[in-house]
Structure 1
């Protein structure tokens, strides 16, 4: 009997996973692939190492076809004593070599995978590839034929010994000398350069904002994602007569000018610099250093420039920028930043009228291929280092324990084993302290690895010198050890290795350090990250950082770990060794992410990132990729400010909150977070500066945020703000923000008083409104989802569906479980795992059949002959929309009720029985593999 299946690369699995598992389970293996490059081989190093330990023998054939196989891969394979390596030399025969076969021999059968994948990171992880797996007995004719053909190719191939590899390397070097790149050709053809997906989305959003009369906007995107090109594409579209491009650091200035010149080559424009040494003030497009401009801005008329770009816009709150911003009056102002930090209590969002053209953080950047993928290897640290009883913030004690010669050898051993992309290693090592960095550099130098330690006390000239040397392929410097610099704002494009040598105590710092090596560079295809994981109490933070989702629960993190973080897109690879995995999973089980203890730790760790200042505003949490979710703090204390007052023991804040009207308004606004419909907050944003708003004006304002809004939904938002659908308890306990009369919405007296008579209170109210809108943009973009206003795979509570379906009765009736209805819209709220401790409850058999079909049981009193039963059974014929909302567990954390996830509409295709009726529902949209795994995987 022969078993067959198709292996493709998707969110639940890929060829890499299958090969890695098979190497570790088989008795022998035989590969024949046309190409092997190091980007793919590195992902198989650990399985091959384990096979070597177990004495599993293997044979590998590759080829010189198209000279795509690299010598680094051949040399690395030869370190394994259990593997025989041969190369099929094609140039001698003038024939192609296209085999892609992976053969695994077991005691009673063979597993043979034949298809389209070579050993490259893309082929193993992300390309559209078809590989067929066939399992058959030893005596099967197909198996005999495959093995016979393999033996034939093996006999025709050449042993990849040192001499062969040397000759092959010489051949590759001679080919590289012949090939020349003509970058100047591209520069002359600006029309050939097209925007990537991120840049296109940003330009569309900027154009929409301008069409509604806005003249300022901010774009937030990770370093290396192409913000400068994005701005140039937008400028090309707008065609300003005069442009000013302002930067904080002069080294960026010339690169920006070159980018614009490349993209706008035939526009009859002049490009100039304004620096300490260049004064091209009459240029059409002027690229200026803020230092110089802040001293000479008065020489320019305020209307000189039609379009101004502020690069690194988080600096724009400083006095030098403020003088310039106040002086010039352009038609449009664009800010660009990777980290929208608040400086001196000033908010960078306010400077750009809280208009955000786009926000792209690490995971989106990976998904859009704006940065290179990373290969992360979490390696359990040596036993000699015990951090289990040390405070993670006790830097002196951690430094002392990390300074072991034995650890240096262990780090180097792993660095050599996993290797790196490109010829020269260009490495940043992140250390616990200056003392630790100095120690690491000294010890690496002793072992022949030329290294240097740099920190914040070193001059910028010294830093720039050593960065240039590290980037120089001919310079012997290979490692810079650092502690308090390079986390962000430093651009070293060719970095190919990152060493994490300190305990992770912040997802923000982890992501910043990871990001140092992700900028695209011609000489690298991936970044190697080695994280030496100790037994300290916060190891699980690594999983939070890698998971890349600010809104997490225990179950989703555990599933991510068990699936090798399959939710991370593209060719990025995350591998935690067995000990680290077990340690992290144990810590997650023990931790309560909603306990006051955990929330305080999370808050104070973020406070350190906030330069030690209490983060008083929700918008502070927008600054960093990896910031905690402040809605958790709100859930703990009803308002964010109430949480801060409690943990900071701040009497002034407590006094402010003693004003019942103010606290009530904060509670009312905070209870709506996170927004699932932006209409109400957009209306409130307008009412911050206007006494009233009409339906027509509200529609106009809402369309600044989304592409369309229907009239009835705007009216429903007015009614919601007027508290038309509150029950008597809510009306008695919640302050009224607005009054609705004849399609005009006005500020309530309380709202009017708070935002006009007390500046401090106004700022905090504005903050909640701006944060709600900003977070909504991030999660929903500008799409109109119709009525009901539901986005696939978003999280919802039951009461959300009342608002989102324009339900015009008391909204608090939308609670409980099972089926809730608004006219022809039926909302099915389903728990996959029922509460075991509820006595006498019906155990409904609700489950996924597969990614397309769901088995659901109606409430136990529903008969087929009833109207409700017919509506469910014949939903399509009767015009009923069945919306499915699913959650794995009602509670994961103590006292924390999980939201449901909307998996879309479905239609009944089969049914049987009654009281309850057992229904098979076909989903209109097949559930994504990643989400299906999360719902069905048991951890």
Structure 2
């Protein structure tokens, strides 16, 4: 307790008295703000405090349904732990909607009361953390915009449970609580009547250019995205090109964009090609609104409609691709052709049409240009990508409605996920009720559900629809077996509120426009991130009836669960560490008011899938490589993968030892590099130019183009306020590393480097002139064009990767806080002369000069490891770590004494932690630690044979661990897998 109080006192002194006090713990007062670029928001801190609380009290004047959505999954997890809370809100200015109060009643562990205090305008959040309380008070109401987007000021304070400030707040809260009335269904009914008399209308914000102006085409103007896309299309035409491709997320207005461009070009004849008649009619209506003109100018070619003479012809590919129909048109009849959902253009029917016509200009539009059938869609449009905006960018630009995603656990029987229950199974009733409860709890925006439920099979869709109808819902199943006419009728019923849900398999993945959809439910495992985004996109279109979209994803124990964060965060790198980090950061990784929420069991299944997935399968690597090759129209470089947001190119290095080797293999090229060049690329790619440190890459960059470079020029190239101060020891380390002297993997007892690498040198250093000089061997290697090109590409990528990692990370003597490093990387950055043998490291190793001791912790140890290595290493708090020495150590052991007397040696102790061995060879850098000398205590570790001596000690983190990563590392699995 004394140490805890000391921490609290330091935090108060630094925050309120003296900012120079060297303290950065969890008890320091903080200013909470929303800042998208810095990945800061009030919501994350609020959730962090909520998740670790023993109870909580909120006093908030204004609350929205969307604000409640941000907390629902976390409150449900707290309910399972028995944690309860209290909320006081108000009816001030009738801001709070009646339905919002209904949503509050669903929160089983939250007791709500309504204050009738005139002008109630509080925004305060109190959390009982056991022994101390944390308080957030300021300008933030419980709304998604306030918690994630708006410019807000809030102060977060920590107080002992006996502190005066918490006593003041809790006393005031309790007094107001006694004077407030409980929230009940009866109260809501009375409030609804009063609310309606105020004639208050609350609708979602809708683009002003579209709202109530469809009757006047001249007033419809492009939105921000469309303006940029139109400029891109025009730029393609000005280059003399006749084809262009627009890649635009679902719901961003591709059809309107096309109409705006047609209005500008004013072609004599236009052909608009779609794959479904339902889309065709909607597209024609949109064009009329934008372009205007006579009704006779517009015609349809589909089924029984054959308006072939229309100026603007809207045709289905099925009708137009018929030989007899195509022959009715001269090849130059249309001077402008538009192809919607262009990713389908590889089909024979599309190819027949494209081959037949010779327009002045052809525009393709798609949300998902990636193909899995080997077809080069980008070549079809001469690699002219006029504009590209994906889901994340569209959300950031407020072109789509915000969404709240909930990853929930699917139904379990005896601890096992049961998604395969047929209607005949008795247990299906339990599963149906489980689904029904989730639909009700996570709810929707608006007065009634307009939902799509994506099922795994036609049978499941049919059976589940019948079962849900028995619970009082109005649903129907639609599959490819249903006619187009029935589909259109059922969609109309969903829009009109006759139906609550349509259950389907894949027919609504794309090409369907139902703006009213306010709930998307996924009852099938994720097979593709592309399909996931397509299905999510069904509900992202803005509509005046909704303020947000609810997405409920039932997550079973599937190996493909790793695709979920890839789809949600738009990260196609397939980098495991990056995916884990995004999950840890939760909603900070997604723009705008949207949030990503997982119930704890579901979240664990995602992490497990990431751990188990082999991200280096040849078929996946080849598919992503070909997709990018088609997109850029050439053999891609590593930096092409970066520029186009594709897979992490280091995947190819890990798979083939160098990017060059992968290219040679996949392109079936002849290996032309000399053995020395080839093996040098292998080593440099994997161990030197891997983005861990910029110094080597920067020096290589200079020496590729210059025979020599002055050290002062080299240092000028570094941003000294970003990279650590350059010392003689760093120079020595850089030179040894570049000249392959640090590489000590696969060596023999005489420590001779493999492949005769010691004969290869790249750089020399002249002490007298302070000059780096290119070694003659390096000059010789640079005469091989492929070596020079490959090395330059790897160097550029290494510098990019370091700078990218550094964004938002604190750099501490070479290491980035919470970045991951292998043991080899650690000792390289600690400036060791060589990489020590792994078996000599164990859990820690002290350098010969005692200047550093690197500590490596596998937090959740396997059951089958040696009894003498089952150390009780654990975080006691975000700032306190309990650590055990190696076995067979006493207080008199040299290594223990050195650590205890670390100040005498000016020893640095960086701490590296991974959750378990399934995370691979890398460890999170948690920051440097300081041993507390008086905490050292000799213990006996019990084993099957005899007790073994060990020393227990307490380490203090110089920087407290961020809450998200702390929770991830310390929480034990509850899935039982």
Paired residues of 1:217 and 1:355 also in contact (CA < 8 A): yes
Counterpart of 1:39? 66
Preserved CA contact (<8 Å) 2:624 2:646:
no
Q: Secondary structure at the match of 1:187?
A: coil
> Any conservation in 2 of the 1:503–1:534 contact (CA below 8 Å)?
yes
Q: Are the counterparts in 2 of residues 29 and 59 from structure 1 also a CA contact under 8 Å?
A: yes
Alignment partner of 2:511 out of 480, 489, 514: 489
Match of 2:926 in 1: none
Name the residue aligned to 2:394. Answer: 365
What does 1:753-902 align with in structure 2 at a 5 Å threshold? 807-808=704-705, 825=717, 867=770, 885=802
Deviation at 1:322, TM superposition (A): 4.4
Match of 2:34 in 1: 9
Residues 316 and 348, structure 1, Cα contact 8 Å, conserved in 2 = yes
The answer to whether the aligner puts 1:480 opposite 2:485 as a matched pair is no
Aligned-pair distance for 1:227?
A: 0.8
1:340 aligns with 2:332: no
With structure 2 as the length reference, what TM-score do the two structures score?
Answer: 0.61
Q: Using the alignment, how far apart are the partners of 1:136 and 1:732 within structure 2?
A: 60
Q: Which residue number in structure 2 is paired with residue 69 of structure 1?
A: 96
Q: Distance in 2 between matches of 1:809 and 1:385?
A: 68
Once the two structures are superposed, what CA deviation does each residue of 1:463-497 show, in whole Å capped at 9, x if it has no partner? 33333322222x1x323333343333333333322
| TM superposition shift of 1:231 | 1.8
5+ residue gaps, structure 1, are 610-615, 647-656, 669-725, 735-792, 844-858, 870-881, 901-914, 917-931
1:620-679 CA distance string (max 9 Å, x none): x99xx9997799569746999999999xxxxxxxxxx9xxxx8327x78xxxxxxxxxxx
Whole-angstrom CA distance in 2 between matches of 1:308 and 1:386? 56
After superposition, residues 179-194 of structure 1 pair within 5 angstroms as: 185-188=212-215, 193-194=220-221
Q: Does 1:125 pair with 2:148?
A: yes
Does the CA contact (< 8 Å) of 2:76 and 2:107 recur in 1? yes
Q: Is residue 569 of structure 1 aligned with residue 591 of structure 2? A: yes
Deviation larger for 27-36 or 313-322: 313-322
Whole-angstrom distance in 2 between the partners of 1:730 and 1:602:
24
Deviation at 1:800, TM superposition (A): 8.4
1:635, 1:405 → 2: CA distance?
48
Question: What is residue 883 of structure 2 aligned with on the other side?
Answer: none
Q: Match of 2:469?
A: 445
Task: Report if the CA contact (8 A) 2:73-2:599 is conserved.
Answer: no
Indicate conservation of the 8 Å contact 1:373/1:525, yes or no.
yes
Aligned twin of 2:113: 86
What is the CA distance between 1:151 and its match in structure 2? 5.9
* Cα distance change on mapping 1:479 and 1:397 into 2, 3 Å: closer
TM-score by length of 1: 0.63
TM superposition shift of 1:40? 1.1
Residue aligned with 1:564, SS: helix
Q: How does 1:363-762 map to 2 (within 5 A)?
A: 363-384=392-413, 404-473=428-497, 475=498, 477-564=499-586, 566-594=588-616, 598-599=617-618, 632=651, 636=655, 663-664=668-669
- For the residues of structure 1 that align with 2:436 and 2:964, how far apart are their CA atoms? 41
Aligned mates of 2:92, 2:541 — CA distance in 1: 30
SS in 2 for 1:32: strand
Residues 581 and 244 (structure 1), Cα distance of their counterparts in 2 relative to 1, 3 Å cut: closer
Pairwise CA distance, 1:593: 2.5
Post-superposition CA distance 1:747-770 (Å, at most 9, x none):
xxxxxxxxxxxxxxxxxxxxxxxx
**1:314 Cα shift?**
3.3
**1:290 CA displacement:** 4.6
Give the conservation status (yes or no) of the 8 Å contact 2:133–2:160.
Answer: yes
Query: 1:285/1:820 Cα in 2 relative to 1: closer, same or farther (>3 Å)?
Result: farther
Distance 1:796 1:313 in 2: 43
Counterpart in the other structure of 1:233: 260
The alpha carbon displacement at 1:124 in A equals 1.6
CA-CA distance at 1:244 after TM superposition: 3.6
**1:383 to partner: Cα distance:** 4.1
C-alpha distance in 2 between matches for 1:306 and 1:805: 52
SS of structure 2 residue aligned to 1:663: coil
Return the offset for 1:41. 0.6
1:24, 1:936 → 2: CA distance?
Answer: 13
Kindly indicate whether the alpha-carbon contact (under 8 Å) linking 1:592 and 1:893 is maintained by their aligned counterparts in 2.
no
- Determine the structure 2 residue equivalent to 1:274: 300
Alignment check: 8 A CA contact 1:341 1:347 kept: no
Q: How does 1:175-324 map to 2 (within 5 A)?
A: 185-188=212-215, 193-240=220-267, 242-264=269-291, 271-275=297-301, 285-290=312-317, 303=332, 305-318=334-347, 320-322=349-351, 324=353
Q: Quote the residue 2:86 is aligned against.
A: 59
Distance change >3 Å, CA 626–CA 523, structure 1 → 2: farther
Distance in 1 (CA, whole Å) between partners of 2:648 and 2:595 is 26
Q: Deviations over 1:502-556 (max 9, x none)?
A: 3334434433333333333322232222233333444434344434211132221
Query: Equivalent residue of 1:75, what SS?
Result: helix
Give me the whole-angstrom Cα distance separating, in 2, the residues matched to 1:420 and 1:626.
Answer: 32
CA contact (8 A) 1:14 1:125 kept: yes
Which residue in the other structure is 2:123 paired with?
Answer: 100
Report what 2:134 is aligned to. 111
Please give the alpha-carbon distance, in whole angstroms, between the structure 2 residues aligned to 1:731 and 1:119.
59
Structure 1 counterpart SS, 2:251: coil
Aligned-pair Cα RMSD in Å = 5.7
Distance in 1 separating the partners of 2:824 and 2:268: 60
Q: Tell me the CA shift for residue 6 of structure 1.
A: 0.8
The alpha carbon displacement at 1:19 in A equals 2.5
Relative distance call for 1:240 and 1:403 in structure 2 (3 A) is: farther
Distance in 2, Cα, partners of 1:464 & 1:804: 60
Shift in alpha-carbon separation, 1:46–1:256, aligned structure 2, 3 A: closer
Instruction: Answer yes or no: is the 8 Å Cα contact 2:624–2:647 preserved in 1.
Output: no
Asked whether the 8 Å contact 2:559–2:613 carries over to 1, the reply is no
Q: Deviations over 1:139-172 (max 9, x none)?
A: 7665565556656765775543323211222344
Indicate how the Cα distance of structure 1 residues 81 and 226 shifts in structure 2: closer, same or farther if over 3 A, else same.
closer
Structure 2 unmatched runs, 5+: 1-11, 17-27, 628-632, 682-689, 745-761, 773-797, 806-814, 830-850, 853-960, 970-977
